[in-house]
């Protein structure tokens, strides 16, 4: 991008995003006042809906103090999960208005649920305007604050398909991130390294090929993708197809080997032209380095933005050292299909919440199984403590249980920040041992250092029938690690878990939990597993993997990836 173009982007985003940044700072100065104001606004917005009338929103709003407001809200509206809201959402899907909120959704975001039926998360015009309009401008503005040259090149942003289908009443369901990208200002849209049709390519290997064939030709300065495993797979694609990219770039073509719908291919090819100069640069990079990494082909990279917290941390070491040292690797923030909770504004993992757009409640980690827990307001959180959040939004979620465990960080203004630790349902139990996923991860990491056997990927499954755990490891040197070594690895993991979890130890010693079983995985087992899930309909941008599960469907996908 020209210097003039960068200055235009910085100026326009500085104005639009700067206003929203100041509004955020204002809201976070007094989280107690902001929380009350926001809850009253949401209840007023929805008081004449079916849900609002059933739950006496008018009565709640008549409260004269904040404490009375919260007491009445807790009295009339019980905490819930998606299944409690599903009947209301179904009415919206079939065309009814004023059910959870005024009017109808403008969009649904679909994501996996606790049942075989996916969740249909409604998105209202108000929510879209505030969260994916105003706060996205704030997000882009913040990039400039952290790296003023972030828009000096192109953006590689990996989003979902805008339209995946339609509800019975014709309302679109698809990717909110895709819609955000589609509807962004023209000067930002011009910065994207590929046309949006790329996200409609059915074969995800082909999609990665196109993303990187187009991306590697350009000077990428910003990458935005929620899931860090996507970064790993993009580089895997580079490792395999680098020479093919170079041929395509030189000729201005798109390899016929890549399986793409003809209409999508036509739209992509219209964007391409011969670039022998860049092709020569890429050939020179390979001759110099052998294995070419992002820091070689994108030396001006300013910001990489992905999740770094929770389970996604297991992917980060897979591309350590791959990007320029001067680049800011920024946490994507606490974010889900149900709710974009806030933004990360610096180089920490702490998400700054939106007290002017969402109403938040929290229970302490130790109260997760308490049938009558104390609910804390945003202003009452303590730094360093862990909580499970419940959210109320302008999109029809009321005291919605996110089933996540968050840790509180330092304040932004006077409002506590948070970062993701794990899903609350990351706890697995066969016979009362309540084994935490994070305990399993920590045990594997400790043993790999102790034995000097690095593990590229691992996963554990609870086998209720056998009353035992099955541990699967893809060792970095998987072809040379023996079954005997792997079983010794498991024995040490088992010992560590007994040290870390007294309930696990009690069940093991009493033989209620049998010896864990050991399996060695073939090379690139995670990639093969993910490909199978995506082939069955999982969305790449939303693909999340717990490393300790009680899930026979996912377990079955690993059984033929075992080294015999």
What is the overall mean pLDDT for the chain? 91
**Which tokens in the block code for residue 319?**
């591309």
Do 360 and 13 meet the contact criterion of CB atoms below 8 Å apart? no
Give the rounded percent of residues in the chain with a pLDDT score beyond 90: 69
Q: What is the pLDDT of residue 6?
A: 77
pLDDT exceeds 80 at position 432: no
pLDDT for 467 equals 87
pLDDT for residue 177: 80
Average confidence (pLDDT) over 200-208: 88
Residue ranges covered by each domain of the chain: 153-301, 351-422, 429-561
Alpha helices in 346-436 (DSSP H): none
Mean pLDDT of 298-306: 97
Whether 3 shows a pLDDT value over 60: the answer reads yes
For the ranges 119-128, 253-262, 315-324, 483-492, which has the lowest average pLDDT? 315-324
* DSSP classification of residue 514: P
Whether residue 311 is predicted with pLDDT greater than 70 in this model: the reply is no
* Whole-number pLDDT of residue 444: 96
- Is the pLDDT confidence value at 2 over 70? no
pLDDT by residue (tens digit) across 312-331? 776 788 888 999 999 999 99
Tokens representing residue 451 in the block: 């034995």
Distances in Å between the Cα of 243 and the Cα atoms of 78, 258, 269 are 58, 14, 19
Q: Which of 449, 495, 455 is nearest to 474 (CA)?
A: 455
pLDDT of residue 112: 61
What is d(CA 377, CA 135) in angstroms, rounded to the nearest whole number? 22
235 pLDDT above the threshold of 70: yes
Confidence of residue 169 (pLDDT cuts 50, 70, 90): very high
Q: Which residue has the tokens 């959704």?
A: 105
Sheet holding 548-549, edge to edge: 517-520, 468-475, 455-463, 548-549
- Which has the minimum average pLDDT: 84-88, 123-127, 179-183, 330-334? 179-183
Which range among 155-169, 177-191, 464-478 shows the weakest confidence by mean pLDDT?
Answer: 177-191
Give the pLDDT confidence score for residue 1 in this predicted structure.
53
pLDDT of 540 higher than 70: no
Q: Which of 459, 532, 463 is nearest to 493 (CA)?
A: 459
Token digits of residue 422: 């794990």
Evaluate if residue 190 carries a pLDDT over 90.
Answer: no
486-515 mean pLDDT: 90
CA 448 – CA 435 distance, rounded (Å): 20
Please give the model's pTM, rounded to 2 decimal places. Answer: 0.81
Q: Which of 158-162, 329-333, 532-536 has the highest mean pLDDT?
A: 329-333
């Amino acid at each position: 991008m020209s210097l003039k173009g960068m200055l235009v982007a910085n100026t326009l985003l500085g104005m639009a995003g700067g206003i929203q940044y100041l509004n955020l700072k204002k809201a976070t100065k007094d989280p107690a006042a902001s929380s009350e104001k926001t809850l009253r606004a949401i209840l007023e917005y929805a008081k004449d809906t079916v849900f609002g009338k059933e739950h006496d929103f008018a009565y709640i709003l008549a409260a004269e103090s904040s404490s009375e407001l919260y007491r009445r809200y807790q009295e009339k509206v019980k905490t819930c999960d998606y299944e409690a809201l599903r009947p209301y959402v179904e009415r919206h899907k079939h065309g009814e208005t004023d059910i959870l909120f005024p009017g109808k959704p403008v969009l649904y975001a679909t994501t996996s649920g606790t049942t075989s039926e996916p969740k249909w998360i409604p998105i209202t015009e108000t929510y879209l305007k505030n969260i994916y309009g105003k706060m996205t401008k704030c997000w882009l503005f913040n990039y400039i604050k952290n790296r003023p040259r972030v828009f000096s090149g192109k953006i590689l942003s990996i989003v979902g398909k805008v339209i995946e289908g339609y509800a019975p009443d014709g309302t679109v369901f698809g990717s909110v991130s895709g819609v955000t990208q589609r509807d962004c200002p023209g000067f930002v849209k011009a910065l994207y390294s590929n046309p949006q049709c790329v996200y409609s390519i059915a074969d995800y290997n082909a999609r990665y090929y196109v993303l990187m064939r187009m991306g590697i030709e350009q000077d990428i300065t910003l990458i935005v993708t929620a899931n860090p495993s996507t970064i790993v797979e993009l580089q895997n694609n580079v490792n395999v197809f680098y020479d093919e990219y170079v041929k395509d770039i030189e000729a201005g073509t798109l390899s016929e080997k890549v399986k793409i719908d003809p209409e999508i291919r036509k739209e992509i090819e219209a964007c391409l032209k011969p670039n022998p100069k860049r092709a020569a640069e890429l050939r020179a990079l390979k001759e110099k380095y052998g294995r070419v990494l992002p820091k070689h082909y994108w030396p001006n990279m300013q910001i990489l933005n992905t999740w770094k917290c929770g389970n996604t941390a297991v992917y980060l070491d897979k591309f350590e050292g791959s990007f320029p040292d001067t680049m800011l690797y920024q946490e994507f923030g606490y974010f889900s299909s149900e709710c974009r909770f806030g933004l990360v504004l610096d180089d920490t993992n702490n998400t700054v919440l939106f007290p002017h757009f969402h109403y938040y409640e929290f229970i302490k980690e130790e109260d997760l199984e308490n049938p009558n827990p104390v609910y804390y307001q945003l202003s009452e959180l303590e730094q360093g403590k862990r909580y499970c959040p419940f959210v109320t939004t302008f999109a029809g979620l009321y005291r919605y249980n996110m089933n996540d465990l968050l840790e509180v960080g330092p304040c932004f203004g006077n409002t506590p920040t948070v970062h993701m630790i794990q899903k609350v349902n990351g706890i697995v139990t066969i016979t009362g041992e309540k084994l935490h996923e994070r305990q399993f991860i920590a045990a594997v990491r400790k043993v790999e250092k102790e034995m000097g056997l690095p593990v590229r990927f691992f996963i554990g499954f609870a086998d209720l029938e056998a009353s035992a755990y099955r541990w699967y490891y893809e060792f970095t040197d998987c072809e040379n690690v023996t079954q005997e070594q792997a079983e010794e690895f498991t024995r040490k993991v088992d010992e560590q878990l007994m040290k870390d979890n007294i309930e696990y130890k009690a069940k093991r010693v009493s033989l209620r939990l049998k010896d864990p079983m050991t399996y060695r995985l073939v090379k690139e087992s995670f990639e093969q597993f993910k490909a199978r899930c995506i082939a069955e309909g999982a969305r790449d941008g939303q693909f999340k993997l717990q490393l300790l599960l009680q899930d026979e469907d996912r377990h079955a996908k690993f059984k033929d990836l075992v080294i015999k």
